[in-house]
Amino acid sequence: MAEQKTSNSSLVGFGILVLLTAMFYLYSWITDGKVWYAFQYSANLNQVDRPNKPHDCEWFSAPLGNKNCHYEATAIVYKSGTDKDGKPVRSYDAGKTWTYLVEGWDVIHAAAPANAKTDSVSIVWEKHED
């Protein structure tokens, strides 16, 4: 009877290990993908542009070994809306600053609109030396 109890507890332990491993991979996949950025910036999946992460800093890339570098993802978020008078405004920095959409390249600062929505999210991979 003692052997049966030991067998069941090791099976439960193995099941917990498999579950935790699956949860880790699921978390890694979600937080590094388009789903995560769409959720984080209230955008649709088709509004997120996320190229694949470059591989030239990885240990197994030729030549084998430490390359003393890594990549970090930076999100560039474009938002739009209308001001209190109905004029279109746009933000190129996730809503920190707003400008009116005018002809030419004049920058006229505007107040943040109440109806702001995310137009697109672009992910850029920045290489950093270690």
pLDDT in tens, 28-75: 666 668 888 888 888 998 999 999 889 898 888 888 888 899 999 999
- In a domain, residue 8? The reply is no
Q: Where are the beta strands (DSSP E) in 2-130?
A: 48-49, 69-82, 88-91, 98-100, 109-110, 117-129
Contacts of 105 (CB under 8 A, 6+ apart): none
Range of the domain at 56: 47-129
Residue 118 lies in a domain: yes
| Arithmetic mean of pLDDT, 15-21 | 87
User: What is the count of structural domains for the chain?
Assistant: 1
Residue 21 lies in a domain: no
pLDDT at position 26: 77
Confidence of residue 106 (pLDDT cuts 50, 70, 90): low
The amino acid sitting at 92 is Y
Q: Give pLDDT, residue 129.
A: 93
For the chain, give the mean pLDDT.
Answer: 84
Residue 22 lies in a domain: no
Q: Does the residue 70 lie in any domain?
A: yes
**Mean per-residue pLDDT, 19-25:** 83
- Asked whether residue 7 is assigned to any structural domain, the reply reads no
Top pLDDT among 10 and 113 is at: 113
> pTM of the full predicted structure?
0.66
Cα–Cα distance for residue pair 17/13, rounded to 1 Å: 6
Q: Give me the amino acid identity at 82.
A: T
